[in-house]
Amino acid sequence: MSATHASVGTAPSLSAMAKIETRRLARNPIFILATLITFGLPAYWAVNSKHNTPGDLLAWPVIPAFFVGLTSLALLARQTRSTDAAAEAMAAAPGSEARRTQALIMASLLPAAVGLAFMVEEIVIAGVKPTAPQEWWFGTVNDAQVLAMMFGCSVVACFGGALLGVLSGRWVRFRGASAVIVVGLVVLDVIGQAAGEGGMPSAKLFTPWMSWQSGTAEDGTATLYAGNALFHVVYILCLCAAAALVAIWHDKDARSPQLKRTIAAVTITGLVALGLGMTTGQSDNKVSDPVPWHIQK
């Protein structure tokens, strides 16, 4: 009896558990490497850009989505399983499964912070080395849409990747599950890319991680894809919320009617936002004007 009281009394708070999980992720060498690559590539491109101007800026946010988002997915899936294994090995688990899941969800804010820092870095680079006037960027695209594109493809994508790792760590247990999910996401993105180039360009918005801009052609032209980035951000934020809530749902003791209603509300909101993103805003893909110094002579 006294042992039970002692174990309950010494159970760490949610914030303490979240700090532990965040430190575990932050100290992981693979996460550190992914973060360094994420910040290093834009800096390298800026230094080596032709005519001292960066290009394809609205495509840059795929960098943190790929390196930090996908890496966080794999690492947090493993971290989720290892946290449970450690809890099972102890005489008393540090909190319920739902509470441990909440701590991992809070640790997912670290990849989101990396995505936000990348967004700031990109804006600073473009301020120091202004883009060509023909580039898709502030001035040629609505400012709110530009910010939404950057925020969704960097901050939310990194956050979503981490949360998907927590979700898969809770529900999927076979060996290599994280690798299968990562490959599946890449395939889904390729399918979305093909849809964006086809007869219904806004269909691309169903993908959680999308690039709003193609790479430049030989004459410097680039495609800006159709759709409303503001509603797409709402859609992918709903995907993030759904991943977190369904991860918590894995704990049978946490399956309250309120949690069930919240999952349903998030799902409906996400579907509505997806529909609005596909039917409002820019209706067709747009090709930029040629950049004079890109034109082949």
Q: Distance (Å, rounded) from C-alpha 139 to C-alpha 236? A: 26
Task: Tell whether the model's pLDDT for residue 259 goes beyond 60.
Answer: yes
pLDDT, tens digit, for every residue of 199-231?
677 778 888 888 899 878 778 889 999 999 999
Q: Which two tokens stand for residue 31?
A: 């996460």
Mean pLDDT of the chain: 87
pLDDT (0 to 100) of residue 3: 41
pLDDT, tens digit, for every residue of 25-79?
999 999 999 999 999 999 888 887 766 677 889 999 999 999 999 999 999 999 9
Q: Distance (Å, rounded) from C-alpha 142 to C-alpha 197? A: 22
**In the chain, what are the domain boundaries?**
2-290
pLDDT (0 to 100) of residue 297: 46
pLDDT, tens digit, for every residue of 85-112?
555 544 445 678 999 999 999 999 999 9
**What are the residue ranges of helices labelled H in the chain?**
2-9, 14-26, 29-47, 62-64, 70-89, 97-107, 109-128, 143-150, 157-171, 177-197, 229-249, 257-279
pLDDT (0 to 100) of residue 52: 66
Place of tokens 């410097």: 220
112 close to 65: Cβ distance less than 8 angstroms: no
Q: Distance (Å, rounded) from C-alpha 96 to C-alpha 228? A: 40
CA 282 to chain CA mean position, Å: 23
pTM of the model: 0.89
Place of tokens 């979503």: 160
pLDDT, tens digit, for every residue of 173-207?
888 888 899 999 888 888 887 777 766 777 788 88
pLDDT (0 to 100) of residue 125: 92
Beta-bridge partners for 141: 138
